[in-house]
Every structure is written in structure tokens, then in C-alpha cells.
Amino acid sequence: MGKTMIEVSNVTMQFHMNADKILSLKEFVMCALRGKLRFEDFTALDAVSFSVQKGETLGLIGRNGAGKSTVLKVISGILKPTKGTVSCRGNVVPMLELGSGFDFELTGRENIFLNGAILGYNEKFLRDRYEEIVAFSELGEFIEAPIRNYSSGMLARLAFSVATVVNPEILIVDEILSVGDAAFQEKSKKRMTELMSGGTTVLFVSHSLEQIQEMCDRVLWLEHGKIRMIGRTAEVCSAYSTS
């Protein structure tokens, strides 16, 4: 077996949440002043352990709220687990909220450099790859327009183009292939497939079992923050679809 790229050991993630269904800020403040706020711990992940090998594509499936996005955020370093450890060997490029590093007042061109820097690429690298990023995004002269004028499809194309311009060692993908129109989806899928066959290790969340079956070597099924099943794609997808 190849080198282990991601090791998740006994990870528990708890959130401290307000237990009262308070509607307004005023009510919240009044209760806080009276010392009447009640909090409860919500466990999003419960002692989750798994590893991913170099070049492997691991799919994550589960109903809404099962903990899939939390796993991705913990591995990306966005969230620190309450308990347990995560180790990643290699540079991690998270494509979670696509374009979450964008500044809407800046142009597409400026955002390429901003978002690229957030993803850890240096300026010279981005300058060298600039034309390639713009060409892939198909934004043409819109690249000089402030991105507040972009449609969500245009934003997604730009974010995808910046994120995949290099061959990241670990790519974390949340529902990426549903961006843009059919032609761009096809193109982004092709780019993902290239990255996967080029030895990139991929964690892939999708609601589409068809996409998971097509693209993943193994699948992890999460239910209520726990691992329900992990194993070969066909077996896990089959069990999931009949559950």
C-alpha cells in the first residue's frame, strides 16, 4: 500500500450551542443579562478514525447533518477538533465554500492573486499561470470587472480555476462538480480526473451517488457523526442506497 497522506485518529468535534430557540438579538441579550441562557453540546463528530493513502480518492456520503462538511473542515485546518488528531502529509487545497477567500470589491484579476495567496501560491507562480487560469475560467474580459457583478456560475468557475491550477498533493472537494453550466461541469470533471490520475489524494463529498461511484476508490459513510461503514465504493453505496 502507498504512503498514508491523511490520518484522522479518534476525532471528536463538539459545538457549544445555545439551547433556547431565541428569535431576536434583544431576547438573547435579555436572557444573557439575567443569566438565563442555556447551552448544550452538540456532537458533530464522535470518535472518527480513518486514513487515506497517496493517490486515493475517498468519497464521503451521508444524510444532511451527518458530519461530512465538519470532517472536511477539520482536515483542512479550518476547525480544531475537540479531541483526537489529524495529520496531513502534503499541501492541502480545500475547495469548500468556493471563493470564500474572494473580495467582492476587487476585480477577477485581483482576486486570482488574493485567492491564490490564501491557497499558498506565491505571486510569481500566479503570474506565470495567470493566462492559464483565465482561459480555464472562460471569463474573458469579465476578468477586469469587480466580481460583485459576477453570477454565481462565473464565481464558481473562477474559484475552481484558481484552486486546480496546480497539482495539489491533497485536494478536498465539496460538491464542486455542480458548478457552472453543463459544459463547464464536464470540463471541471475532466480536470478533477486528471488530478486524480496524477497522484493527487482526494477527499470528495457529493450528494450524487453516481458521481461517487464514478470517481471514488473507497467510500466513508457517516451517520450522526459516527462512521457507519467504510470500504469499497460499490459495497458502501449499495448499503447506503438500501438503508
Q: Which of 20-29, 66-75, 181-190, 193-202 has the lowest mean pLDDT?
A: 20-29
- For the record, the C-alpha cell of 25 comes out as 438579538
Predicted local distance difference test score (pLDDT) of residue 98? 62
Tens digits of residue pLDDT in 119-170: 778 899 999 999 999 999 999 999 999 999 998 888 888 988 888 887 788 9
109 falls in which pLDDT band (50, 70, 90)?
A: very high
Predicted local distance difference test score (pLDDT) of residue 226? 96
Which residue did the predictor score with more confidence, 107 or 189?
A: 107
Q: Which of 29-43, 139-153, 190-204 has the lowest mean pLDDT?
A: 29-43
Specify the DSSP class assigned to residue 178.
Answer: G
Predicted local distance difference test score (pLDDT) of residue 99? 62
Tens digits of residue pLDDT in 60-79: 999 988 999 899 999 988 89
222 falls in which pLDDT band (50, 70, 90)?
A: very high
3-state secondary structure of 232: strand
57 falls in which pLDDT band (50, 70, 90)?
A: very high
Inter-CA distances, 238 with 85, 108, 230, 235, Å:
30, 42, 12, 5
In the predicted model, is pLDDT for residue 37 greater than 80? no
Cβ contact 95:82 at 8 Å: no
In one-letter notation, the amino acid at residue 110 is E
* Integer Cα distance of 126 and 107 in angstroms: 15
Q: Beta partners for 94?
A: 172
In the predicted model, is pLDDT for residue 215 greater than 90? no
* Integer Cα distance of 81 and 10 in angstroms: 10
Predicted local distance difference test score (pLDDT) of residue 119? 76
Inter-CA distances, 1 with 56, 83, 201, Å:
11, 28, 14
Predicted local distance difference test score (pLDDT) of residue 173? 83
In the predicted model, is pLDDT for residue 1 greater than 60? no
For the chain, what is the mean pLDDT? Answer: 88
Which residue did the predictor score with more confidence, 115 or 104?
A: 104
In the predicted model, is pLDDT for residue 21 greater than 80? no
Cβ contact 59:212 at 8 Å: yes
Give the residue among 135, 146, 77 at the shortest CA–CA distance from 108.
Answer: 146
- 22-40 average pLDDT score: 77
Cβ contact 188:177 at 8 Å: yes
Identify the sign of the CA torsion 44, 50, 52, 58: negative
> What residue has cell string 456520503?
61
Predicted local distance difference test score (pLDDT) of residue 179? 64
